[in-house]
Amino acid sequence: MMENPLGWLHARGLVSQRQFDAGDRLRGDFTIAGLMPNVTMRWDATPVAARRAGADAPLDPTLARIAARQRFDAALAAAGTGMADILWRVVCSGDGLEAAEKALGWPRRAGKLVLLMALDRVADYYRL
């Protein structure tokens, strides 16, 4: 388990395994979609690889990124407008609950309840 707010909540029994898995899938789509801001230029060369034909061929990186972005956007839409904010801050950005509540202008301890409801909706979206 990574050191992140969702992992911390899960380790203490405040988030169910289903909710944790939903958050992990959401963060995975966020990462694959390349939505994290870059602070520097990428110096790695563009990979040149022979494309294999058939069902076992890997998904083109650009197509994988587009598909992940579509899943991420759909998952946030399934969570709902008011709940997408806390999901993004805690699950994707790695902000703690208190920091997310403060940034959103919410009262203390409201973030956990909203986060749990949002994770349930995202779990439904991912069919977990």
Sign of CA dihedral 24, 30, 31, 36: negative
* Nearest residue to 122 via CA among 10, 23, 14, 15: 23
Helix ranges (DSSP H) in the chain = 5-11, 17-32, 61-79, 81-87, 97-104, 110-125
Rg (CA), the chain: 17
- Burial string for 62-100 (b: 16+ CB within 10 Å, else e) reads eeeeeebbebbeebbebbeeebbbbbbbbbbbbbebeeb
* Nearest residue to 14 via CA among 113, 127, 118, 121: 113
Domain ranges of the chain: 5-9+16-35+60-125
67 half-sphere exposure, CB direction, 13 A CA radius: 6
- Model pTM? 0.78
Per-residue pLDDT of the chain (128 residues; tens, 9 = 90+): 457 899 999 999 999 999 999 999 999 999 888 877 656 665 655 555 544 455 555 667 788 889 999 999 999 999 988 899 999 899 998 898 999 999 999 998 888 999 999 999 999 999 99
- Does residue 87 contact residue 118 with C-beta atoms inside 8 Å? yes
